[in-house]
Amino acid sequence: MVHNTPRNKIDGARLKAMGMVAGVSDMIYLRANKPPLCIELKTDGGRQAPAQIEWQRVAEAVGCEYIIIRSFDEFKEAIHTANT
């Protein structure tokens, strides 16, 4: 799980100093013998922020897979598919 939601400004500054990057996907699923799978969780009407679009571009440019999940059923199917 990516820790990308600071509790307050002090916590946010500490995380940024430690290397937190804006736009990183909510989850990064590391798989044996396959590229990492970046998973962004959104509601039905949720949209990516500009920083998330840029992170997707960079992640895909280095060979990661990137998906947007909008329901628990989609998540289960994506994990099942990712493991086959």
Helix (H), strand (E) counts: the chain: 3, 3
> What pTM did the predictor assign?
0.81
Amino acid code (one letter) for 8:
N
Q: How many CB atoms lie within 10 A of CB 6?
A: 14
- Side by side, the strands of the sheet bearing 27-29 are 27-29, 37-41, 65-69
Q: What is the pLDDT of residue 40?
A: 96
End-to-end, the C-alpha distance of the chain in Å comes to: 21
Given a contact cutoff of 8 angstroms between Cβ atoms, the answer to whether 68 and 42 are in contact is yes
Summarize pLDDT for 10-51 with one digit per residue, the tens.
887 888 888 878 889 999 999 999 999 999 999 999 999 999
Mean residue pLDDT of the chain comes to 90
Q: Please state the φ and ψ torsions of residue 31, each to the nearest 5 degrees.
A: -125, 145
d(CA 8, CA 46): 23
